Structure formats: C-alpha cells, structure tokens
Amino acid sequence: MASVLALIAGFMAYTQMGSASAVNSSAAEESEELPTSDTPDFGENVKIFDPGTSAATIQAAVDEAFDAQENNPTAQFGDQRYAFLFKPGTYGRVWANLGFYTSVAGLGLNPDDVTINGAINVDSGWNYGDTANATQNFWRSVENLAIAPEDGTNRWAVSQAAPMRRVHVKGNLTLAPSNQDNGQGYASGGYLADSQVDGTVSSGSQQQWYTRDSDIGAWEGGVWNMTYSGVKGAPANAFPDKPHTTLETTPTTREKPYLYVDSDDKYQVFVPALQHDSSGTSWPDTKGTSIPMSKFYVAKPGDSAARINAALEQGLNLFFTPGTYELDETVKVTRPDTVVTGIGFPTLIPTAGNTALSVADVDGVSVSGLTFDAGTTNSDTLMTVGTAGSHTDHAENPASIQDVFFRIGSSVQGKATTTLAVNSDDTIIDHIWAWRADHGGAATGWDVNTGDTGLLVNGDDVLATGLFVEHYQKDEVVWNGDRGETIFFQNEKPYDVPDQKSWMNGSQNGYAAYKVADDVTEHQLWGGGSYAFFNSNPDVKLDHSFEVPDKEGVSLHSILTVSLGDVGTISNVVNNTGGAVPNPAGNTTPRNVVSYP
C-alpha cells in the first residue's frame, strides 16, 4: 500500500509540475518578442521561382502537387496545401494544372511584371468518382500575373472558392471544361476581378458567374445568372431574355492585399486603397500602401492561438502560410488597419467551440485568403467583425473580407450556428463561400454537420460583392442592417432535408436563402439565384427563396429560382411572387423575376 501511495504522490507531483510548466511556457510564449523579417521563411509548402529557374524544375514541382491528387479519393478534403510564387520576369513553357488548395501568384507589383507562357489550367476529368464534370473544382486560385496561353486560350473551369484576381490573360479565357460537348461538362463558379482578358471570355456551361472591375475583349455564353459590375466590355443588361445583369460601376471597392518583392528582393504586402464607383482594372497604377514583411508575423502550421495573439499584441499584422491551424481560443484583432492575410488556403479550425477569428469594431481591418473549418464542438460563430449593436461610422475606412471561405463539415464533422457575423457598419464583403457541406471527408448529414446561417449582417451600409452561401438549415443569409447591398448572390438549399416537418419556419415551409429583416427600410440585391435539389426527399417544399419586407426602399433585381433536375419544389421566387419550380416546361427551367416589387 505504501508503495502505491508513493507512486500516486509521485504521479500527482509530476502532473502538477507538468501543468505548471505548461502555464509557464504559455506565459513565456505570450511575453516573448516574436521575430520578423523582410525576407521570411514561408515554409516548405511555398515554392518560390525566379526567371533563372528552369522550366523543367517548375514543371516538375507543379506536376508533383497535382498528380498526387488526380483520382485520389481523399484529396478533396486532404491536408495538402501549396503556393507557387513567381518573382518578376518571363517564364518559359509551364503548364500548371491546379488541384485542391493550390495557389499560383506573381510577386511583381503589377500583373505584367510576371508572364507565364503556357497555361494556368483547371479542367474536369481528374476527380475521383466523378470525372465527367467540374462542379467540385473548389479551393484553388491564381492572381497577380500575366498568362500567355499556349494555344491562345487559357482554361479556368472552376466552381466555388476559386478566385482569379489581378490577372492579365493575353488571349482568350474559357470557363468551361474540355468535355463540355458531351453534355456532362458542368461547372458552377465563379469569380473574376481586377483582371484583363485581351480576347473573349467564354462561360460555356457555367451556371453562374460574377465578374467585377475588369477589362475584357468580349463575353459569350451564359446559363442562369451572369452578373457584372464595373466591367469594361461586359454584355449589355438583358435579364431575363439573356442571363446578364450588368452594372456600369461597383459602388465601393478595396482590392485584396497581395505579396510582392521590391527592387532589393525584400518582401512587402501591398494594400490597395479604397475606391468608389470603380470600373476597369486598378492596375498598373494601383493606389495604396506597401507594408514591409517585417511588420508581419508569418504564421506556420503548429502555431498556437496564444502565439498568434501575442503577435497581434506586439502590433504586428498576420500572414498565414499554407497548412491547417488548430485554435483553442479566439484570434483577436483589435488594432485599426491590421492586415490578416494568407496564401495557399491556410485553414483555421476552432477546437473548443470558440470563434476562430474576431475583429473589433475599428477602422480598416483587412481579412483575406483564409479558410475556416467548423470544429466538432459547436461554435456560435466562426468569424465575427465588430460588436453587435454598435454603429460606428467606418465609411472612410471600412473593414474588408476577401476570398474567405467557411465550411461546416469537410475533413471533420463540424458544427457552427453561424459562420460569419458582420456587425461593423460599412464592411465590404468581397467574395466569400459559406458552405454547409453536402459531402465531405467525414460523413455529413442533417443531424451531423449542423449549421443555421451562413451570413448574418447586423451592420448598416454593408456591401457584398460575390456572395456564395449554400445548404444551411435555417435562413441562410439574414440581413438586419439598413442600406445594405449585394451584387451577385448564389445559393443552393440543403439537399438533405429528411421531411417537411423537420424544416418548418413556423407555418412556413422551409427557410429563405436570403432574408431581409422586416424593420429594414433600404436594401438592394442585383443578380441572385437560388436552387433546390431535395434529393433526400423530393416531396419537400420551400415557400420562397427570397424574403423581404414590402417597402419602397427595398428592391431586388434579376433574381431567379431553379429546381435542379426538377427535384423538389420552390413555390415562389420572392415572397408570394414569381411562380413555382419545377417550371411546367421542365428541363430545369428557372423562374425569373426582373424586379421586385
């Protein structure tokens, strides 16, 4: 007995010592001055090339990343992350196929500082179990370079969360997969911004697409919802005879921050300035501010939330490198004008039911290039901006959220009540995809990966340009703030509703895709599509996809509903207007409302 008691006492002393060591370690981590550099190490998942690198070396690197994913059953929700960065110069023949979690970017101050001869290519035919279409070509990106297409046309057949930004295509651009002609080459993208296409953009089988502040030679094609704002060369507004919704300018923009190398081969992040009523590309004379990398903490996988918060408390910005980050507490951004950005789809996962990232109600914070996965313990929110109930005017220097993606159910059986809550007035939401997963690396299901709402907007004067929100279980977008505006909205209702009684909003069948609160006095939406595919139970009905108060200042333009494959019913487009889908004509025919009211 004595020996047992001694062992127990020894074990308790050991564990107490270990606990104390952990506390001391955490305290030391928070108090240490974290190192920075203008020539940082971005980690093993980032490959940096210069014009002296042989084309064969570059080709081998991009092939190694892509080939490992081709027909790989785990790649879509794997932990691989890649960023391929090109210093200024011209590069010989490179044919870069982009798979999941792969980013290609130039490191010049302007896109034409880096020219890739060959292709930055995304196509169908690679996906395990479904090689016939491109509807799952998610989580890849290209930005800040020029492409001289080998055959005159670059292919970018992507779906959600696959932005092309700040790119000069010296030829044509096709957004359709190469097997389109056999009737199976579907795609469901996408987003193009601050880019120039010298030739023709062909959208082919793309169901919807948003293009913002670009210059194009011409545009051909369109299926349901093709929306343009500030695009020189865009087709004329013609909805619904043709599926084009065209605005001459974008009300407010601030282009996404980007990494570049200066003439001394040191790294900086350029933060573009705020623009109003913009049109065409922001470059080559982009207005803005350069921040040296010595003002950033370069985060790497394995960094704790405490260490990342220590960097913020040190007054640093954050630069996330490719990988996954498990966070047991909230990363808190409190300083005005803080830049939080990432490359290669760094993925933040809350592990304790916490919010992964919160931004205080301050001016000018920029968050971009991040992916959030809900953890297995339910989080009330994954990301918040501002303080609920606060209405400080940020019009002169708003917060911005760009290329930020949210997932409930993916590699883990995640849960979150709301993925993104925007409380700060004047916030710019520029391209997000909030997705409650219909499939994943871990099993998904109605009671498994639960999530109510993708986007909750409480702030006034919030603008969303490029809003993708899908499969949530209650109202998917809830807009409580006044004078809000959305340009382009894409939605699919949840596939997996088991029966009608499980999906009732009081006496109403189902929940809206886009709900504007009853007390809102002014709101606008341009170009919105909502689709149903109730394959778990085709008898399920939704009363309407868009729900808004009938007020003079609230107006919706170019909105539609579709029953995909005529599986499931949406009884009206907006409120009690628009008629039902399946449309009696069949063939997945939409119901269109040109303007409401």
Q: Find the angle CA(491)-CA(224)-CA(528) to the nearest 5 degrees.
A: 40
Query: How many whole angstroms separate alpha carbon 217 and alpha carbon 232?
Result: 8
Give bridge partners of residue 209 from the DSSP assignment. 226
- Contact by Cβ (8 Å): 281, 233: no
DSSP state of 21: H
End-to-end CA distance of the chain: give it in Å, rounded. Answer: 83
d(CA 149, CA 147): 6
> Are residues 485 and 253 in contact, defined by beta-carbon separation less than 8 angstroms?
no
SS3 310: helix
Q: How far apart are CA 80 and CA 439, in angstroms?
A: 19
Query: Which is catalytic among the residues 29, 492, 522, 552?
Result: 492
380 HSE (CA, 13 A, CB side):
5
Is residue 116 within 8 A of residue 149, CB to CB? The reply is: no
* Residue appearing with tokens 């916030």: 427
User: Is 492 an active-site residue?
Assistant: yes
Element (H, E) at 246: strand 244-247
CB 115 within 8 A of CB 146: yes
In angstroms, rounded to a whole number, what is the distance separating the alpha carbons of residues 197 and 189?
Answer: 18
Cα→Cα distances 556→418, 515, 542, Å: 24, 12, 19
Hey, what are 541's tokens? 């009905």
Q: Which residues are catalytic?
A: 492
